[in-house]
Amino acid sequence: IMKRLFLLGCLVLVLVNGWAYDSVLVEGRVWQTDMEYKRTSRSPDGELLEDDDSYSKYYKLVGDSIVGNRVYKKVYMAEYYRDDFRFYCLVREDVEMQRIWRYYDGGEELIMDFMIEEGDTLGSYGVCEKIEYVRDKDFKRLKKITFEGGKNVWVEKYGLVWKDFPNKYYFLTWVREGRKVLIDSRDLRKVSQKVV
């Protein structure tokens, strides 16, 4: 009986560990995001003109900053060139609550909540429509959250992978940790389709 209880306890620990929340804000990671703009206008003679533009942004976490009693990660951003990083903002993550905040204008703004439930609303993301579990290329089980009509998608460990603004699209291209690519656009397409 003791052996069975011990084995059952080990199995429970393995399952709980496999389902544990995987932090997004890990120092040393770099995120590349691409933004695509689509603009329409009319020429003087009434012809419809369409203009597309795109560019990349890179984000990384370097160091901490204390505001009040809270420890925030410093986010640095570069546009176009990956070696021209400048301070962008402060963020913090509560791993137990599975939430991420940005320090903004003297206060905090909740920007991600991986404990959200279907039907809940969060700021500009809108209503949470679907919660699924997917696997990344290392077969790690991750929570995927989709908002109204698929316009906004989060994936645990990687953060915001898709956001649809009016006339502008944001999507995650890859995440690196050191020299290792954790996930890239090809993997993200697989993650977005493969439900566990």
Q: Whole-model pTM?
A: 0.76
Residue 22 is given by DSSP the state: -
pLDDT of residue 18: 42
Token pair in block for residue 87: 């301070």
Decide: helix, strand or coil at residue 124.
Answer: helix
Residue type, 188: L
Low-confidence ranges of the chain (pLDDT < 70): 1-19, 38-41, 48-52, 81-82, 165-166, 188-196
The pLDDT value recorded for residue 6 is: 41
Q: What pLDDT is stored for residue 56 in this prediction?
A: 86
Alpha-carbon distance of 46 to 187, in angstroms, equals 43
Rounded to whole angstroms, the Cα distance separating 50 from 42 reads 9
Helix (H), strand (E) at residue 55:
strand 48-67
* Per-residue pLDDT, 192: 52
- Residue 70: the pLDDT is 92
Residue 183: what pLDDT?
78
